[in-house]
């Protein structure tokens, strides 16, 4: 079984008919939809679906075409950073697909999308063509309003499509990346400074673990603070290592971990790593799980 995931983000989160339009497109392809949600405050739609690589690539192209048709960036505003109608299109290898293949698919999708719609495209994360474009935040810096100027800078030659700004649709980032694990640790304290200090200690950018992004924040209405983490490569920096490091740093303040949450989904492999660590089972692997053997075999397509 070969499974690829795609998590496109579109810059429309207020019109429920937009979700209906996306759903109508998704139904035409043999893909499994894990999430489709509109955030009115962010003014952004999040869509997560998966299936065989060909089906996912074709479905992503159809979704993007519909979004280009419906969204006019000249009238768009929202609290989430964005630079285009089809803001980001990351492809994520889930099973039986290598990162190299995901990169190839992302770039092919990006070139085809750019030519079809006349929209400038940058490749990011594993699909990036230079290290300066690996981080989405760097690619998107300046946002929609700054893209016309950015496209004239010598460092920002497009990876696909026209070098000219598209006023109606903006600019699109297309990438390939590992499944991202969003893992939040709620602390038994209301001191925001403690959460911020712990986040700073565990995240890569300030000296922590290589594949952890983290910030400290207040959880509205709970009286507790949170270390909110993105684990961007769970194979190299697994969940348990991030959690136990938070625990160790929290001990410095006499603060305990109150509870944790996984936002979104987690690959079975990452869950197996957690079990292997805490149960002290060397080399635990997913084939130990009964359901693993019920997954469709190579060559079978998943049903819609």
CA distance 47 to 5: 10
235 binds a second copy (CB under 8 A): no
**Residues in 275-294 at the binding interface with a second copy, rule: CB under 8 A:** 275, 278-282, 284, 286, 288-294
| Of residues 171 and 243, the one with the C-beta less far from a second copy | 243
Backbone angles phi and psi of 291, in degrees to 5: -60, -25
Backbone angles phi and psi of 207, in degrees to 5: 110, 5
59, two tokens: 């479905």
Q: Which of 139, 243, 245, 255 binds a second copy (CB under 8 A)?
A: 243
CA distance 207 to 200: 8
Least separation in angstroms between residue 11's CB and a second copy is 26
**Residues in 23-82 at the binding interface with a second copy, rule: CB under 8 A:** 32, 34, 50
Site map (CB under 8 A) of a second copy, residues 114-153, x = contact: ----------------------------------------
Q: Are 238 and 168 in contact (CB under 8 A)?
A: no
Q: Which residues of 150-187 are buried (b: 16+ CB within 10 A; e: fewer)?
A: bbeeeebebbbbeeebbeebbbbbbbbbbbbbebbbbb
188 binds a second copy (CB under 8 A): no
CA distance 201 to 198: 5
211, two tokens: 């594949």
| Of residues 3 and 194, the one with the C-beta less far from a second copy | 3
262 binds a second copy (CB under 8 A): yes
230 binds a second copy (CB under 8 A): no
Catalytic-residue membership of 80: yes
| Of residues 170 and 272, the one with the C-beta less far from a second copy | 272
Three-class SS state of 44: strand
Choosing from 42, 80, 204, 240, the catalytic residue is 80
Q: Are 207 and 106 in contact (CB under 8 A)?
A: no
240 binds a second copy (CB under 8 A): yes
Least separation in angstroms between residue 198's CB and a second copy is 15
Counting residues that bind a second copy (by CB under 8 A) gives 47
Which among 273, 297, 303, 225 is positioned nearest to 33, based on CA atoms?
303
CA distance 287 to 272: 10
99 binds a second copy (CB under 8 A): no
200 binds a second copy (CB under 8 A): no
Given the structure tokens 């893909």, which residue do they identify? 31
Q: Are 37 and 56 in contact (CB under 8 A)?
A: no
94 binds a second copy (CB under 8 A): yes
298 binds a second copy (CB under 8 A): no
Site for a second copy, rule CB under 8 A: 1, 3, 5, 32, 34, 50, 94-95, 179, 183, 239-240, 243, 257-262, 265-268, 271-272, 274-275, 278-282, 284, 286, 288-297, 300, 302-303
Q: Which residues are catalytic?
A: 80
């Amino acid at each position: 079984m070969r499974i690829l995931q795609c998590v496109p983000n579109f810059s429309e989160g207020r019109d429920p008919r937009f979700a209906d339009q996306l759903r109508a497109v998704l139904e035409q392809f043999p893909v499994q939809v894990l999430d489709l949600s509109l955030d009115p405050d962010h003014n952004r739609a999040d869509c997560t679906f998966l299936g065989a690589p060909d089906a996912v690539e074709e479905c992503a192209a159809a979704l993007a075409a519909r979004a280009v048709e419906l969204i006019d960036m000249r009238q768009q505003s929202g609290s989430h950073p964005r630079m285009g109608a089809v803001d980001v299109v990351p492809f994520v290898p889930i099973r039986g697909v290598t990162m190299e293949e995901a990169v190839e698919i992302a770039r092919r999708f990006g070139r085809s999308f750019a030519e079809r719609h006349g929209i400038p495209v940058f490749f990011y994360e594993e699909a990036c063509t230079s290290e300066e474009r690996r981080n989405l935040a760097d690619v998107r810096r300046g946002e929609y309003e700054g893209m016309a100027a950015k496209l004239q800078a010598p460092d920002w030659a497009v990876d696909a499509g026209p070098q000219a700004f598209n006023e109606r649709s903006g600019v699109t980032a297309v990438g390939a990346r590992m499944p991202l694990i969003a893992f939040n640790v709620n602390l038994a304290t209301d001191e925001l400074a403690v959460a911020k200090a712990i986040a700073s200690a565990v995240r890569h950018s300030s000296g922590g673990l290589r594949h952890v992004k983290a910030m400290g924040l207040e959880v509205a209405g709970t009286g507790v603070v949170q270390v909110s983490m993105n684990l961007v490569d769970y194979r190299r920096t697994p969940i348990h290592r991030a959690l136990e490091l938070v625990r160790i740093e929290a001990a410095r303040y006499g603060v305990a971990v109150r509870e944790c949450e996984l936002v979104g989904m987690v690959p079975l492999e990452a869950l197996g790593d957690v079990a292997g660590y805490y149960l002290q089972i060397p080399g635990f692997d997913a084939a130990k799980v009964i359901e693993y053997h019920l997954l469709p075999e190579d060559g079978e397509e998943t049903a819609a």
